[in-house]
């Protein structure tokens, strides 16, 4: 079953790639987004044409269950079959061996959701996959750092500007498996988020997921917040790679982010706010096992809460 899935998806990826080469509209869209031909080739970008059953051109048995089960074809309630991806720029998603296991598709007009991913299958699980990881692995190992962004185009655009140690979550929040994969390659992870409220929520969640994986002081997790109205793609195009790297040097450390998120929207001038600080931080302190970082946070939180370290340790049930 798995080998059949990969064969089907590889055939589809080749089809979409050829369709991109012959679609002036899709090419114009990528050019308008500043994506070069070499960058498109590096990530094997493609185009799904508008036809409802375009994949009939490459599959002899369009009705095969394997095409439905691997997510290429949809069977609706009326048992009508149609291509899942239509009129979209296609981003093939690969595993660590470079095999295609799914797709992301972005509309080039206003019809339908902006992004559409392959469904969960036996082969493809969004929480276990990072877009661009196969292309980025060598650079991650060389630089000993990885940037984690949110969008497919963010990855392609940063790589085009020479920042090739970059991956993206697939329209889903950061998961424990994402962190395990990244820490197997590097101990320095920089999450890059928009500077708006949604970006801060995503960063807060990523911080929460990372805590239990910080097992020694050599692991560094930080957060790069971009200026208003910018995502990584727009920022690097408006500026350059050097400006992006300069921002990265000033990324917010996990320790600082821990405190910033904990103190958001509370007043430490009042006893209720200080109590709330302890309430918010206790579960996270309990999950954080790296002693040096935890001790520094305990010292800071005790000071902000205006209690002793021993009192905070007792209230938080920390040993």
Mean predicted lDDT score pLDDT of the chain: 94
Rounded to whole angstroms, the Cα distance separating 160 from 76 reads 39
Q: How far apart are CA 93 and CA 91, in angstroms?
A: 6
Mean pLDDT of 287-299: 94
pLDDT tens readout for residues 162-200? 999 999 998 778 999 999 999 999 999 999 988 788 888
Token pair belonging to 177 = 């498996």
Give, to the nearest 10 degrees, the angle between helix 2-21 and helix 24-32: 90
Query: What is the per-residue pLDDT for 193?
Result: 86
| pLDDT tens figures, 90-117 | 999 999 899 999 999 999 987 788 899 9
Is 263's pLDDT higher than 90? yes
**Digit-coded pLDDT (tens) for 39-59:** 999 999 999 999 999 999 999
Q: What confidence score (pLDDT) does residue 139 get?
A: 98
Give the pTM.
0.95
Residues 6+ apart with CB under 8 A from 309: 298, 299, 302
Alpha-helical segments (H) within the chain: 2-21, 24-32, 37-42, 65-69, 133-143, 152-160, 176-183, 197-210, 232-238, 241-249, 254-262, 271-287, 291-305, 309-315
Q: Quick one: pLDDT at residue 229?
A: 85
pLDDT at 15: 98
The confidence band for 26, taking pLDDT boundaries of 50, 70 and 90, is very high
In the chain, the percentage of residues whose pLDDT exceeds 70 is 100
pLDDT at 316: 86
- List pLDDT tens digits, range 305-318: 999 999 999 988 88
Say how far residue 210 (Cα) sits from the centre of its chain: 14
């Amino acid at each position: 079953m798995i080998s059949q899935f990969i064969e089907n998806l590889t055939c589809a990826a080749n089809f979409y790639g050829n369709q991109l080469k012959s679609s002036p509209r899709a090419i114009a869209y990528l050019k308008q987004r500043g994506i070069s031909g070499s960058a498109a080739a590096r990530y094997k970008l493609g185009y799904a044409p508008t036809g409802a059953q375009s994949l009939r051109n490459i599959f002899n048995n369009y009705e095969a269950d394997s095409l439905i089960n691997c997510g290429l074809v949809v069977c609706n309630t009326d048992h009508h079959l149609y291509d899942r991806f239509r009129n979209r720029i296609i981003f093939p998603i690969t595993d660590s061996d470079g095999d295609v296991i799914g797709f992301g598709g972005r509309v080039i007009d206003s019809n339908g959701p902006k992004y559409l991913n392959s469904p969960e299958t036996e082969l493809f699980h969004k929480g276990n996959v990072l877009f661009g990881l196969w292309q980025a692995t060598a650079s991650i190992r060389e630089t000993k750092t990885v940037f984690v962004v949110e969008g497919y185009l963010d990855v392609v655009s940063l790589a085009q500007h020479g920042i090739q140690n970059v991956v993206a979550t697939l329209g889903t929040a950061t998961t424990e498996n994402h962190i395990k994969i990244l820490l197997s390659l590097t101990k320095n992870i920089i999450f890059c988020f928009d500077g708006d409220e949604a970006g801060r929520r995503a960063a807060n969640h990523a911080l929460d997921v990372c805590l239990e994986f910080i097992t020694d002081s050599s692991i560094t997790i930080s957060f790069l917040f971009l200026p208003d109205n910018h995502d990584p793609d727009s920022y690097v195009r408006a500026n350059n790679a050097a400006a992006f790297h300069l921002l990265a040097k000033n990324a917010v450390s996990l320790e600082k982010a821990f405190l910033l998120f904990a103190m958001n929207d509370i007043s430490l001038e009042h006893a209720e706010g200080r109590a709330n600080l302890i309430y918010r931080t206790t579960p996270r302190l309990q999950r954080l096992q790296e002693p040096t970082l935890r001790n520094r946070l305990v010292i800071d939180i005790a000071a902000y809460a205006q209690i002793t370290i021993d009192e905070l340790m007792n209230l938080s049930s920390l040993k």
